[in-house]
Amino acid sequence: MLEEKLDALSQMMAEHMALPFPPGFRGLDIEDEDMVMLDADAHGFAAGVLKGPLSAQHHSGLTRLTSACEKVLSVIDDQYATKYYTHVRDMAVLAAEIERLRGK
């Protein structure tokens, strides 16, 4: 099951890299979150999870990231950006799920 989730995360990352960044979201802060950094952090945490278990500090950062994604998604009013950041959130949630499985 863990291997299947790792494969799914790898696929999500590849799909994400193929998506253009939402126009007008560079340099934009929503709910005190820098939208470029939110995107970059999600990719960084996902890449870290693919390499192996995260440190306690990184695990905490991933938890914060999933909350931040939920917060910004509730106020984004652009259809493409909503789709894009839903993918970002889903990638972070899957990475966190993998971390939970490793902890068992």
Tell me the per-residue pLDDT of 16-69, one tens digit each, with 9 for 90 and over: 999 999 999 999 999 999 999 999 999 999 999 999 999 989 989 999 999 999
- pLDDT classification of 104: cutoffs 50, 70, 90: low
CA dihedral sign of residues 52, 55, 58, 62: positive
Nearest to 9 by CA among 103, 104, 91, 102: 91
Alpha carbon distance 60, 72 (integer Å): 19
